[in-house]
Amino acid sequence: MIFLSLLRICLLIAPAVHSAPFLEPAVQADYDAIVIGGGPAGLAATSGLARVRRNVLLIDSGEYRNDPTRHAHDILGFDGVTPAWLRFAARRQISDYGTVDLVNGTVTEVQPQKNNTFFKVLADYPGNKSVSFTTRKVVLATGMRDILPTTTGLAESWGKGIYWCPWCDGHEHADQDLGILARLDSAVTSVREILTLNTDIVLFVNGTDTPANRAITEGKFPGWETYLKLLNVKIENRTLASITRLRDGATPYADPSLPTHPEHDLFEVNFTDKKNPILRNAFFADFPSEQRSKVGENAGVQLYGNKLAADGAGGLVTNVPGIFAIGDANSDNVTNVPHAFFSGKRTAVYLHVQIERENSLAQIAAAGKRDVGEDELQKLWARMNVPSDVTHARERFEV
Ligand SMILES: Cc1cc2nc3c(=O)[nH]c(=O)nc-3n(C[C@H](O)[C@H](O)[C@H](O)COP(=O)(O)OP(=O)(O)OC[C@H]3O[C@@H](n4cnc5c(N)ncnc54)[C@H](O)[C@@H]3O)c2cc1C
């Protein structure tokens, strides 16, 4: 009787064990995923993977595209915070999950192994420390780099009165005297983007108002000259010599709980002819950009234009099975923080399920008492990459 009571007590206090029996994963590697880049895209992917206890390493070299800007905008719940605060808040939460490592470093090479069944990732950590890890999947969240003209004064003011997109900083300069810095064809189409915010507009096209470019512009935007006349938008074709800041419109003492505050910058635009400088409060600019990193391309990832080609129906996987591309760097051709979040989450969901799909196939095969050797796994993997095969992973997952 005493024994039975003790047994009952023991059963009551014993922790319930619900875990599935351990089954070997299809592939052994240090990590389920290595995320390269710790901007909003890489952080979003890492968060999505952490939530399902994936073993993830995020390596970040810390050269963020929006680093120069005063505030990040149009990010729900975080409108108007500094980009650094946004990353800090995300990192603080993500690092609370036990299966994630966030480190500073630069990935130097991604080497596909055994028909892309896993990857070797080489990186340099601070202090000249070289490391290498194996991983089942790689997420490229490496971002883009803006190629700024060498015009004196421009780079210093990039993101601080010379801004990149209307949603980024346009509202802070609403109703001010605006300049658009771009080639003729792009400057003209930019007018339509900004008209709800500014009406006193000068296009600084820096010598690109030529007959050939006028024809290109007409092809893109028939009737553009009439349109500019109707809006009283002027074209300034002289070659830019410098953009000199006369006033700093930063608002360090403004209420940080509010999303937007006017920023009253003032600039003087000087030309190579040294005549008649023009004053403007702000500029909306359109400059080219390039991949921040070559690691994806060097690992065999194809480019679409200057973007890493990613398949939206396949969780943003690239042509190299197992390597995904998200954020600004990928071919969605959408470049903002909400897209970085979305694409990171999209890949996290897909990648998670894909790993378990591979595991389940290998485990079922092993349970069938067949000796699943390396060759068979290779064959299975090859099958899974054929779109017409039933094992192909092009299934859509609802996120
Ligand atoms: C001036 C400016 C202002 C902007 N303002 C806004 C705004 O207000 N709102 C908005 O929604 N969007 C804004 N944007 C756009 C926004 O910055 C991008 O859409 C966003 O940063 C994309 O995130 P990402 O993670 O893809 O890239 P990034 O934020 O650029 O992050 C990429 C990261 O990858 C790292 N990396 C690259 N190669 C390697 C490597 N080999 N190893 C390790 N790490 C590597 C980089 O160092 C970097 O940390 C702005 C852009 C600019 C230029």
**How confident is the model over 124-177, as pLDDT tens digits?**
999 999 999 999 999 999 999 999 999 999 999 999 999 999 999 999 999 999
Cite the DSSP H helix spans in the chain. 2-13, 40-50, 83-94, 154-157, 184-194, 211-220, 224-231, 295-298, 337-367, 374-384
Percent of the chain's residues with pLDDT above 70: 87
Under the banding of pLDDT at 50, 70 and 90, the label for residue 369 is low
Contacts of 26 (CB under 8 A, 6+ apart): 117, 355, 358, 359, 361, 362, 363, 377
371 CA to centre of ligand 1 in angstroms: 47
Q: What is the pLDDT of residue 16?
A: 47
* CB distance 164 to ligand 1 below 6 Å: yes
pLDDT at 10: 42
Mean pLDDT of 224-244: 98
For position 11, what pLDDT does the model report?
A: 43
Q: Is the pLDDT of residue 15 over 70?
A: no
Could you tell me the distance, in angstroms and rounded to a whole number, from the CA of residue 214 to the centre of ligand 1?
A: 33
Q: pTM for this one?
A: 0.90
Tell which residue, 146, 178, 150, has the closest CA to residue 164.
146
162 alpha carbon – ligand 1 mean position (Å)? 17
- Output the average pLDDT for the chain: 91
> How does residue 399 score in pLDDT terms, banded at 50, 70 and 90?
very low
Ligand 1 centroid from CA 204, angstroms: 26
Q: Which helix (H) or strand (E) holds 101?
A: strand 100-104
Ligand 1 atom nearest residue 64's Cα: 30
Q: 291 in ligand 1 pocket by Cβ < 6 Å?
A: no
Atom of ligand 1 nearest to the CA of 337: 11
Q: What is the mean pLDDT of residues 202-226?
A: 98
**Would the pLDDT of 8 be above 90?**
no
Instruction: Write the CB contacts of 222 (distance below 8 Å, at least 6 apart in sequence).
Output: none
